[in-house]
């Protein structure tokens, strides 16, 4: 079966994997190991949209960021793909990984009548008549509960390759609300031996989106302008940084004259804001890094953004703070991260600034590893 992702061998994308994703995941592994204790020693847990080839998973496997179980299973890797057939093909290349067939956004946003109660994957789903639609909903809710019980993850790779905001999708957008759920579920603790609860205090986030669309609804444009203008009002020195980067400090003018720059300035702010409202914050170092490259499509070209960041839980957490009180450390980090967003440009990835031979050789190593696991499975 062919891969469900036709750009799997794209060298520009693989440069982002090696230069962007791999160092971030290595950092997360070091953070984990520094926190290991005799009673809490575990392997890195990874969530991704890896497609059939599982290139990102196998890259991390070769780098020993992801380690298999003693029986050779990738049972700390979790992924979504559109159909059971695609999930099954992926699992042949990363045996033991946990795949979820279906549309990620639809599964996460499905309305579960039991969500107000502790989620039990074995709890019966008592729905209406025994019809095809009822059975489909039962399968969706069962999958959703299984997915929730998989949290938390050490690395969340939302490599969706789609627009963050879609025309006719009411504000704030289905994908934004989906990320709200994911970041909320990231606060679920591990249940370890003797039923000890171990929350994670940080995770690595990677996010992929297309730039645009240029026919973005006015509601979204207003929202993005509002984010940027609010930053400038709160930190007047940001106007100077914006002028140095865009030539002007007027956000509306930048939107009219250079929509791509306007979008690239606003998207990191959107991600930081979603995390902020769910009691997380982006670490000041390294802040938010953005990789950009152009993809030549069959109909037209478009630009991809790959955003990476290290995320930390606010301290003290929300349930130990007074109403309307925020974490001072999180506020300070947020200010510095926003300054970097305004000051630093994207990392432009093009054929002339990547090492083609190294990338091709690395992809071949990954394919050999894939064939090995496929034969074993």
Tell me which residue of 83, 86, 94 sits closest to 51, measured CA to CA: 86
Confidence band, pLDDT 50/70/90 cuts, at residue 190: confident
Percent of the residues in the chain that have a pLDDT greater than 70, as a whole number = 92
pLDDT number for residue 183: 98
pTM of the shown model: 0.93
pLDDT digits (tens, 9 = 90+) for 191-230: 766 567 778 899 999 999 999 998 999 999 999 999 999 9
Task: Tell me, rounded to whole angstroms, the distance of Cα 162 from its chain centroid.
Answer: 12
CA distance 64 to 41: 16
CA distance 246 to 130: 59
pLDDT digits (tens, 9 = 90+) for 238-290: 999 999 999 999 999 999 999 999 999 999 999 999 999 999 999 999 999 99
Confidence band, pLDDT 50/70/90 cuts, at residue 2: very low
pLDDT digits (tens, 9 = 90+) for 160-178: 889 999 988 999 999 999 9
DSSP conformational letter for 188: P
pLDDT number for residue 300: 82
324 pLDDT above the threshold of 80 = yes
DSSP conformational letter for 326: -
DSSP for 229-257?
A: HHHHHH-TTHHHHHHHHHS---HHHHHHH
pLDDT digits (tens, 9 = 90+) for 326-376: 999 999 999 999 999 999 989 999 999 999 999 999 999 999 999 999 988
- Other beta carbons within 10 Å of 299: 5
118 pLDDT above the threshold of 80 = no
Confidence band, pLDDT 50/70/90 cuts, at residue 38: low
DSSP for 17-78?
A: IIIIIHHHHHHHHHHHHHT-BTTB-----EEE--TTTTHHHHHHHHTTSS---TTS--TTEE
Confidence band, pLDDT 50/70/90 cuts, at residue 1: very low
To the nearest 5 percent, what fractions of the chain are helix, strand and coil? 45, 15, 35
| Average pLDDT of the chain, as a whole number | 91
pLDDT number for residue 119: 55
Question: What is the mean predicted confidence (pLDDT) over 229-234?
Answer: 94
């Amino acid at each position: 079966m062919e891969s469900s992702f036709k750009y799997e061998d794209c060298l520009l994308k693989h440069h982002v994997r090696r230069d962007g994703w791999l160092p971030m995941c290595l950092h997360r592994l070091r953070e984990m190991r520094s926190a290991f204790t005799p009673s809490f020693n575990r392997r890195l847990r990874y969530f991704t949209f890896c497609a059939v080839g599982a290139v990102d998973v196998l890259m991390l496997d070769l780098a020993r960021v992801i380690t298999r179980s003693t029986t050779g299973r990738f049972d700390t890797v979790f992924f979504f793909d559109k159909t059971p057939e695609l999930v099954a093909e992926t699992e042949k290349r990363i045996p033991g990984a946990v795949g979820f067939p279906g549309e990620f956004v639809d599964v996460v946003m499905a309305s579960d009548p039991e969500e107000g109660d502790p989620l039990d994957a074995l709890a019966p789903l008592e729905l209406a008549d025994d019809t095809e639609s009822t059975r489909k909903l039962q399968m969706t809710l069962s999958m959703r509960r299984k997915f929730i019980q998989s949290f938390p993850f050490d690395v969340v790779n939302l490599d969706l390759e789609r627009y963050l905001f879609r025309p006719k999708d009411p504000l704030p957008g289905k994908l934004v609300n989906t990320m709200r759920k994911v970041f909320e579920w990231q606060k679920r603790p591990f249940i370890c031996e003797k039923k000890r609860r171990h929350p994670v205090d940080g995770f690595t986030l990677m996010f992929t989106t297309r730039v645009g669309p240029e026919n973005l609804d006015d509601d979204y444009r207003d929202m993005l302008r509002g984010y940027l203008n609010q930053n400038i009002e709160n930190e007047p020195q940001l106007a100077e940084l914006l002028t140095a980067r865009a030539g002007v400090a007027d956000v509306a003018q930048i939107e009219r004259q250079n929509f791509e720059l306007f979008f690239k300035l606003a998207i990191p702010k959107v991600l930081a804001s979603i995390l902020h409202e769910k009691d997380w914050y982006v670490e000041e170092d390294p802040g938010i890094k953005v990789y950009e490259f152009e993809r030549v499509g069959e109909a037209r070209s478009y630009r991809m953004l790959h955003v990476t960041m290290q995320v930390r839980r606010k301290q003290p957490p929300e349930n130990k703070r007074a109403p309307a009180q925020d974490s001072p450390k999180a506020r300070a980090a947020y200010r510095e991260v926003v300054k970097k967003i305004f000051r630093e440009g994207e990392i432009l990835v093009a054929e002339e600034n990547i090492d083609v031979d190294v990338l091709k050789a690395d992809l071949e190593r990954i394919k050999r590893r894939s064939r090995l696991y496929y034969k074993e499975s």
